[in-house]
Amino acid sequence: MNIIKGFLLNLQFFTAVPIRSALPMDQQHLRSSIKTFPLVGLLQGVVYSTLLYLLNEWSPFSVLAMAFLIWLVMIIITGGIHLDGWMDASDAYFSYQDQAKRLEIMKDPRSGAFGVISVIVLLSSRFLFIYEIISSMTFVSYFMIMFIPFLGKSVMGLVLVTIPSAKKDGLAALFQEAGSRKSLVVYPFYLLLFSAILLNWWEDFFWPLLIFIGVALLCYWFVRAKTKKWFGGITGDILGASVEGTEIILWMTLWLLHYFAMV
């Protein structure tokens, strides 16, 4: 029951799905929330892949129209919450100030020029990758798309639990107080379970999946290596930026796989 409530908490926090129940915010339920980060990502991925399949197989829309619809749905489903973190973190980083000043910049509700430029680059890059992937879509592609938000949310959980918080208040600190490394034990189980199901069905998933996992781990390593240096630790904005950063790198990876492997 706690796991279900934790999952619903994630839907409230990280998606635009209307969960109107007043869910408890105690440490036990927040811990369950952390444990189900990847499952929320998997749900997002299933929605994206299913919608893309329906559009590709049953609609008269062009590749350009399908790419736009998938691109738009991704923004609508998340409510842009992680994009906000991406913009704030970009503003702070490109200010080239010290850690304390960067944290102040991230708290400012106004968006600066670097934040606007960075989100334009992010969203336009994602649109390009989606468009070209759809142009040369394979059966494997649908399932790889499911794994993009799954791995993005998994990296967010790793970042949250294993990197110290830069401040004592805020959303990241609230979740971090409830979490521990034990909360992450279930992540490899999810990965092994879903990978085994897919590999049992289609052996061609093996190498793309292995590459995806390696890329996600590199993204985590990069965030871990640079966050303390640049910001002194994590914040809610850093968590959002880590999700967006990991996902855009995975979209780029799938795009490159279509060019050099999945042909």
- The pLDDT of residue 106 is 83
| CB-based burial label for 236 (10 Å; 0-12, 13-18, 19+) | buried
Q: How confident is the model at residue 263 (pLDDT cuts 50, 70, 90)?
A: very low
Residues 6+ apart with CB under 8 A from 198: 143, 205, 209
Q: What is the CA radius of gyration of the chain?
A: 18
- pTM of the predicted structure, to 2 decimals: 0.93
Which residue ranges make up each domain of the chain? 27-260
Which of 92, 50, 89, 83 minimizes the C-alpha distance to 69? Answer: 50
Neighbours of 263 (CB within 10 A): 8
Mind listing the pLDDT tens digit for each residue in 135-180? 988 888 999 999 999 999 999 999 998 888 877 776 667 777 766 7
As given in the structure block, the two tokens for residue 223 are 């965030």
Q: Of the candidates 109, 149, 116, which has an alpha carbon nearest to the alpha carbon of residue 248?
A: 149
Three-class secondary structure of residue 119 per DSSP = helix
